[in-house]
A and B are shown apart, each in its own frame.
Chain A
């Protein structure tokens, strides 16, 4: 079973896709593909069969997303919490991953044709070594492509990701690359595993559950959430259309709240800078009012430039560290 299907849409589906594309289409959609096991139970088949059908549905959904003009998709494939499942099921899921990533490496030409960049998000070190190697290979080989993006969350939870980001920042402080006051929301954003992609606009969870289950908590704080009752292996093009329609209905309100929040965010950053400058101003006290404002402005500018420089150096080091980890996996 391949990762991207070549099947085209029917006429009526194409028509509807075109109508939806006349409105704002989400650039990045995240899926919680829930309901594989319930589907297997419902159809009286093995659990593993449910999971394989779920994967097939993913391949189909990726095709639909391309048709609708959605160029980035993030899927929740395996949570760190899922390691708690029975050994048999975890082994089955790992085997599925092994097969699919091997298959992915076999169909390079297809990935090249669609220019799909694959990223695997999560704590790879929790996985068996052979899967880590396969993943590293797939990620490194497709990293240059930039037309569509598929992010697979594997051995992932959002809390783990956030704590990891804080740990990376602490590492930066320890190495002397940044100072504790440089820690800000945008820096934390860029230390997450998802630093290379924009925040998802739309999050879809199937099977009727109405919670986020530790998935992209930070990134979806201003995303449109759509909960659908259909089980993942039964997901259809029309379900996807419904979700996009709901996103469009919410579009202006969400955009407004995002803007409001980004203003708040720059205000907070400005406050941090100002607090630092004022602390430094105390040491050089000028009696002249005008001179005072000039010094203040100069210090503000200097503070910002220095902060940006430090952050840039730190992020470069972090990127090198992460790529080095993948490359080491490939060569060994």
Chain B
């Protein structure tokens, strides 16, 4: 009997795997069709045309076509004009202050993460952190930074970006309200808590503090060690694995965790959809 159960179990998981693969394939296919349609139907110069006020009624039809062009164009390469961004921003009645990008996949793509970072900045999100459980992005953080700067140049974006890793003047940057990027690895999670605990214990050993001096707020203060980085409001988790994989255990207390299937070839619409989900969520804070 147990052999039969085991066989059924394997079959069930095979089905599940097939279903996931099919969904992933459909998602990719969906974009490919849009891309192909965009390339076929429209001459590229039309797409960059800005929509101004139209006076002639006869042009209405052309305008409709233009709108379609822009829509397709957006879907093709996802370059959005600043005014479109501010319009979209108005659609989101709540924006995260700090967004955490959790890359839980085997494969990592620096250009895609860079464009995610830029989208966040363009929407006015002040703090972005990038995390992966193997610390690959942290090891290659300069490469990520180069990629972000390159993309930024391409988009002629007006959003200056600061890099927070290693800089002691994090508080100063926050004060000036510039968007800040931080690259994190598992070392910033539990080992960081342990380090703060060691420091406190050392103070107790030196008779500068007593155990009773420590409460949640005091420890929170110790953990921040001068950096004025707020807790993440939203974690965008990429990959099929349903886990936070050691991402800042102390700080994710109230973070909404939203999953996206993959960050490779991520489209702006997917990202925007996740932000819309976040805007719809209500926090009761224990009440």
Contact = CB atoms under 8 A, between A and B. Distances in A.
Contact of B13 (A158, A174, A179, A249): A249
A254 B244 contact: no
B258 to A, nearest CB: 6
A2 interface: no
Nearest to B253: A214
B256 interface: yes
A20 B245 contact: no
Given A19-B8, A260-B133, A159 B253 contact: yes
A295 interface: no
Contacts of B242: 224-226, 246, 250
Interface string A241-256: 0000110111001100
Contacts of A158: 249, 253
A234 interface: no
B240 to A, nearest CB: 8
Interface stretch (B56-64, B112-120, B194-202): B194-202
B281 interface: yes
A81 B286 contact: yes
Interface residues of B, number: 59
Chain A interface extent, by class:
35 or more
Contacts, number: 167
B226 interface: no
A226 B218 CA distance: 32
Interface in A148-180: 157-160, 162-163, 165-171, 173-174, 179-180
23 contacts: A79-B286, A80-B286, A81-B286, A84-B285, A85-B287, A160-B216, A162-B193, A162-B250, A163-B216, A163-B219, A165-B197, A166-B200, A167-B211, A170-B214, A210-B256, A210-B257, A213-B254, A213-B286, A217-B249, A221-B189, A221-B190, A221-B247, A268-B191
Interface string B184-217: 0010011101101110111011000111101110
Nearest to B278: A210
A195 interface: no
Given A159-B220, A183-B197, A210 B258 contact: yes
Contact of A249 (B16, B201, B210, B249): B16
B252 interface: yes
B241 interface: yes
Contact of B201 (A23, A180, A222, A224): A180
Nearest to B209: A170
Given A81-B286, A173-B205, A183-B201, A159 B9 contact: no
Contact of A170 (B134, B204, B255): B204
A22 interface: yes
Contact of B243 (A160, A180, A184, A222): A222
Contacts of A253: 240-241
Contacts of B283: 211
